[in-house]
């Protein structure tokens, strides 16, 4: 039975704009959690005595926690106040940031990243669900473009902020975690004042804890395997066979549980919708390409091109400009003309081109050429990311908006987590093999430890630069086929006219009709 505590359809433009301010600030904070550390990682890992595999894990653990909990947040949105939930998720982010800032060792830092990820997962899922509830798909393009721009700003401004903080002697890397706290607190305050949503509660909804446990366990097992393979054990080994088998069995069990659960975490029924299935596949593949490649560019700038963390942050700006321009312009054009598929296809083609261009970088590639390659990748990702969500939200009943949105976000984050851990393992393995080749069996300075190039002699520094450039180029080449598969998925999505009613309006109509 579905009851409603005052369904008040139709949100005025003023309501939407006011609520958007808090939502966008919250989304910025969620993205910042994952990106602000990237330029600081070489310094953090060196100071806390971590290895190259730990480098990827500091990013992966936050992504994993965010990924695994997105469907749970989506389900909770069916049970409790969406406003209260988004504020709770921001509070978790604050707690994780404070723990991270005071970390004394790698283990404490990784735990704090898990807490940050839990909060970021809530914000990422709930912000999109709230948008769909308030804004009709026909108008959503405009706002989706703005969210895409916020995503872009957070993705690349994060590393820039992190770089400046690391290079400022009286601040240091710990402020990479403290800096997001005031933004999160401001977002909580803004949402309290501006976000007014009816609570539509499904009284017979229950959280499928067994399904949630199996999904988290299966995904975590496969991520642990992909990040350790090639480092702690061989890709083809007993460990690989054991971990992959366990991960697959857990996910198969999760599918069986979800198929029979009264209220599944990820309702399998939504995948009967062709648009949802294809946008989910494309979102996961975009996540692999986007996160898997770009998270290691900062390391390339610092170790191969000899830039400071601040300079590395500035060198990321072409990517954000590409993403910001394409997502904003595409959003406005979609709202104006009501057509969206052409933007998805163009984004897929351009993203493939960007990945292939970045696979050609070397230690001697000019900053200008790297910037052009990054701009191309940014344009492609900007055209794809939010518009995939828009296409799916437009093609499902309003009662499935929360599940569909959180499922898409889940698979995009999952793709990102797999991309970072798997491509991180590829990079670490390549660095180790090249270091052994250049420096002998011990691997010299270029082995498992992330080198501090400021203390190395020029001849060794030049070899390290070449090693990291070759390894970084290779991960973009490995990531390119994922971008091609994303393009193929997008091509088969059928374009449908954008609906004129908001999610809350559609839900009220569905309930009145007895659906």
Shared-domain flag, residues 219 and 368: no
Shared-domain flag, residues 109 and 229: no
Q: What is the pLDDT of residues 241-298, one digit of tens each?
A: 999 999 999 999 999 998 888 777 777 888 888 999 999 999 989 888 777 666 788 7
> Of the candidates 117, 123, 120, 121, which has an alpha carbon nearest to the alpha carbon of residue 191?
123
Q: Which domain holds residue 242?
A: 208-262
Which residue matches tokens 């004042």?
A: 193
Q: What CATH number did the domain enclosing 393 receive?
A: 1.20.1250.20
Shared-domain flag, residues 352 and 399: yes
Indicate the length of the chain as a whole number. Answer: 515
Shared-domain flag, residues 353 and 433: yes
Mark which of 239, 262, 285 sits at the end of a domain. Answer: 262
Backbone angles phi, psi at 6, to 5 degrees: 45, 95
More confident: 8 or 346: 346
Shared-domain flag, residues 43 and 164: yes
Instruction: Name the 3-class secondary structure at 277.
Output: helix
Shared-domain flag, residues 11 and 129: yes
Instruction: Name the 3-class secondary structure at 8.
Output: coil
Shared-domain flag, residues 56 and 97: yes
pLDDT above 60: residue 307: yes
Contact in structure between 291 and 413 (CB atoms under 8 Å): no
Residue 231 pLDDT grade (very low, low, confident, very high; cuts 50, 70, 90): low
Query: Residue 181 CB: number of other CB atoms within 10 A?
Result: 16
Contact in structure between 152 and 320 (CB atoms under 8 Å): yes
Q: Residue 364: how many CA atoms within 13 Å on its side-chain side?
A: 2
Instruction: Name the 3-class secondary structure at 3.
Output: strand
Rounded Cα distance between 493 and 240, Å, is 35
The total number of structural domains that make up the chain: 2
- In this prediction, residue 8 carries a pLDDT of 45
Shared-domain flag, residues 93 and 223: no
Mark which of 242, 262, 282 sits at the end of a domain. Answer: 262
Shared-domain flag, residues 297 and 176: yes
Shared-domain flag, residues 200 and 220: no
Backbone angles phi, psi at 233, to 5 degrees: -155, 165
Rounded Cα distance between 62 and 50, Å, is 17
Instruction: Name the 3-class secondary structure at 197.
Output: coil
pLDDT above 50: residue 447: no
For residue 12, the 8-state DSSP code is: -
More confident: 322 or 172: 322
Residue 2 pLDDT grade (very low, low, confident, very high; cuts 50, 70, 90): very low
Mark which of 262, 279, 308 sits at the end of a domain. Answer: 262
Shared-domain flag, residues 230 and 379: no
Shared-domain flag, residues 349 and 411: yes
pLDDT above 70: residue 200: no
- In this prediction, residue 249 carries a pLDDT of 96
The long-range contacts involving 101-104, CB below 8 angstroms and separated by at least 24 positions, are: 101/174, 101/175, 101/177, 101/178, 102/174, 103/48, 103/174
Rounded Cα distance between 365 and 199, Å, is 55
């Amino acid at each position: 039975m579905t009851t409603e505590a005052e369904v008040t359809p139709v949100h005025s433009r003023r309501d939407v704009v006011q609520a958007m301010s808090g939502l966008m600030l919250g989304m910025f904070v969620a993205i910042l959690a994952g990106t602000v550390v990237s330029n600081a990682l070489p310094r953090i890992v060196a100071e806390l005595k971590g290895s190259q595999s730990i480098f990827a894990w500091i990013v992966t653990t936050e992504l994993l926690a965010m990924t695994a909990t997105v469907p749970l947040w989506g389900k909770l949105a069916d049970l409790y106040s969406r406003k209260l939930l988004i504020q709770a998720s921001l509070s978790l982010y604050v707690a994780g940031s404070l723990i991270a800032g005071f970390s004394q060792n790698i283990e404490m830092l990784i735990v704090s990243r898990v807490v940050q990820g839990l909060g970021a997962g809530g914000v990422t899922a709930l912000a999109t669900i709230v948008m769909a509830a308030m804004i009709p798909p026909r108008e959503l393009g405009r706002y989706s473009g703005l969210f895409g721009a916020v995503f872009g700003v957070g993705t690349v401004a994060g590393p820039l902020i992190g770089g400046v903080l690391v290079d400022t002697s009286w601040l240091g890397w710990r402020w990479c975690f403290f800096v997001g706290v005031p933004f999160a607190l401001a977002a909580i305050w803004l949402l309290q004042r501006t976000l007014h949503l009816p609570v539509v509660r499904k009284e017979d909804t229950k959280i499928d804890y067994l399904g949630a446990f199996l999904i988290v366990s299966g995904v975590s097992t496969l991520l642990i395997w992909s990040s350790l393979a090639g480092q702690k054990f061989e890709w083809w080994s007993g460990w690989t066979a054991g971990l992959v088998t366990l991960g697959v069995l857990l996910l198969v069990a999760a599918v069986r549980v979800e198929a029979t659960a009264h209220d599944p975490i990820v309702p399998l029924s939504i995948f009967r919708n062709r648009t949802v299935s294809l946008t989910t596949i494309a979102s996961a593949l975009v996540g692999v390409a986007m996160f898997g490649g770009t998270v290691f560019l900062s390391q390339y700038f610092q170790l191969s091109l000899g830039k400071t963390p601040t300079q590395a942050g500035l060198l990321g700006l072409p990517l954000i400009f590409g993403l910001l321009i394409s997502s904003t312009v595409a959003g406005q054009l979609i709202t104006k003309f009501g057509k969206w598929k052409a933007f998805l296809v163009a984004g897929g083609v351009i993203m493939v081109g960007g990945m292939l261009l970045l696979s050609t970088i070397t230690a001697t590639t000019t900053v200008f050429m790297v910037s052009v390659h990054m701009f191309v990748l940014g344009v492609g990702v900007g055209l794809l990311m939010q518009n995939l969500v828009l296409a799916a939200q437009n093609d499902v009943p309003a009662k499935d908006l929360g599940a569909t949105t959180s499922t898409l976000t889940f698979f995009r984050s999952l793709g990102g987590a797999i991309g970072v851990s798997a491509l991180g393992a590829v990079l670490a393995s390549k660095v180790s093999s090249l270091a052994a080749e250049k420096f002998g069996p011990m691997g010299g300075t270029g082995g498992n430890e992330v080198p501090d190039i400021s203390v190395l002699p020029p001849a060794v520094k030049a070899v390290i630069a070449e090693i990291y450039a070759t390894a970084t180029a290779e991960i973009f080449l490995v990531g390119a086929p994922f971008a091609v598969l994303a393009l193929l998925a997008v091509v088969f999505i059928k374009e449908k006219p954008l609906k004129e009613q908001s999610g809350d309006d559609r839900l009220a109509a569905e309930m009145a009709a007895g659906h």
